[in-house]
């Protein structure tokens, strides 16, 4: 599988790091993990079309992770620059039902795709809940951020990728990441700046070491968190550490 980082930033609007979004590709199947503002344009920038997106996973409903869903649904309903023929599968916590209904109160039918083109899969907030997404065997677990927050593990042909979403330190993420080939892990906090329900380099070190993952990609950078003191991680974690950049591609 191939990972393309579409957005390694946060809700801090900047030119060099888009809000969160990650594309995971196997053959013709493209799974989008989160779609913060600007992600749809990044998909076009890498030469793909919106038709190419087969499924969407939403980790939680903070605006930096979800707001491009609105123009996506609008474009899908009215065939704005693209025409969807096969349904899009959307995966999110069971709380998505309330969230989507609230969006429809605001945007009315403008964001309702034609019948049969949106397949919503509501996921229970259970540890290692198993699902199938196209060619992937996947597992989701609740993580310590918002009530609806889920992290996801994708497996294909013996390889595994985990996406933490936003989270604080929690056992659920460690269990989900066990022996993963690659862990995309949020890096919002720095030594001098700590917000609860996000991770610091020390947290990342402990999670990665305890889960025995092979490689990690630090992402979800704020300006204050991106000059990471890697020695704080290397103290504990001996695997490869990659610093995410927008449009970076990684083979897993
Ligand atoms: Zn975020
Ligand atoms: Zn968040």
Q: At what angle do helices 96-107 and 69-78 cross, to 10 degrees?
A: 60
- Give 87 Cα–ligand 1 centroid separation in angstroms: 27
Pairing of strands 21-26, 2-7: antiparallel
Confidence of residue 192 (pLDDT cuts 50, 70, 90): confident
157: left (phi over 0), alpha (psi -120 to 50) or beta: left
Compute, in angstroms, the gap from residue 164 CA to the centroid of ligand 2.
Answer: 11
Residue with tokens 């196997």: 26
CA of 231 to the centre of ligand 2 (A): 26
Q: Compute, in angstroms, the gap from residue 74 CA to the centroid of ligand 1.
A: 23
Cα of 197 vs centre of ligand 2, distance in Å, is 9
Do residues 103 and 66 make contact, with C-beta atoms less than 8 angstroms apart?
Answer: no
| Residues 79-106: tens digit of each pLDDT | 999 999 999 999 999 999 999 999 999 9
**pTM of the prediction?**
0.98
Ligand index nearest the alpha carbon of residue 21? 1
Instruction: Quickly name the fold that domain 2-244 has.
Output: Metallo-beta-lactamase; Chain A (3.60.15)
Residue 90: which of 136, 122, 138 has the closest Cα? 122
pLDDT exceeds 90 at position 191: no
CA of 57 to the centre of ligand 1 (A): 14
198-245: pLDDT as tens digits: 999 999 999 999 999 999 999 999 999 999 999 999 999 999 999 999
């Amino acid at each position: 599988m191939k990972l393309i980082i579409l957005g390694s930033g946060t809700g801090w609007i900047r030119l060099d790091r888009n809000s969160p979004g990650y594309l995971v590709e196997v053959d013709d199947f493209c799974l989008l993990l989160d779609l913060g503002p600007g992600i749809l344009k990044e998909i076009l920038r890498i030469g793909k079309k919106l038709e190419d997106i087969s499924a969407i996973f939403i980790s939680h409903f903070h605006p930096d992770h979800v707001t491009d869903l609105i123009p996506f649904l609008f474009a899908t309903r009215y065939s704005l620059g693209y025409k969807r023929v096969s349904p899009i599968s959307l995966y999110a916590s069971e709380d998505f039902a309330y969230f989507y209904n609230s969006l429809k109160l605001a945007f009315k039918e403008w964001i309702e795709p034609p019948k049969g083109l949106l397949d919503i899969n509501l996921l229970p907030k259970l540890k290692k809940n198993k699902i199938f997404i196209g060619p992937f065997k996947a597992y989701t677990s609740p993580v310590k951020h918002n009530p609806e927050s889920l992290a996801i593990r994708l497996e294909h042909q013996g390889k595994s990728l985990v996406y933490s979403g936003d989270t604080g330190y929690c056992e659920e993420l460690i269990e989900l990441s066990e022996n993963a080939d690659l862990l995309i892990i949020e890096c919002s906090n720095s030594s001098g700046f700590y917000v609860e329900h996000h991770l610091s380099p020390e947290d990342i070190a402990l999670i990665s070491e305890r889960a025995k993952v092979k490689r990690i990609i630090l992402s979800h950078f704020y300006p204050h968190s991106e000059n990471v003191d890697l020695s704080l991680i290397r103290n504990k974690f001996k695997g490869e550490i990659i610093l995410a950049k927008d449009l970076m591609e990684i083979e897993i």
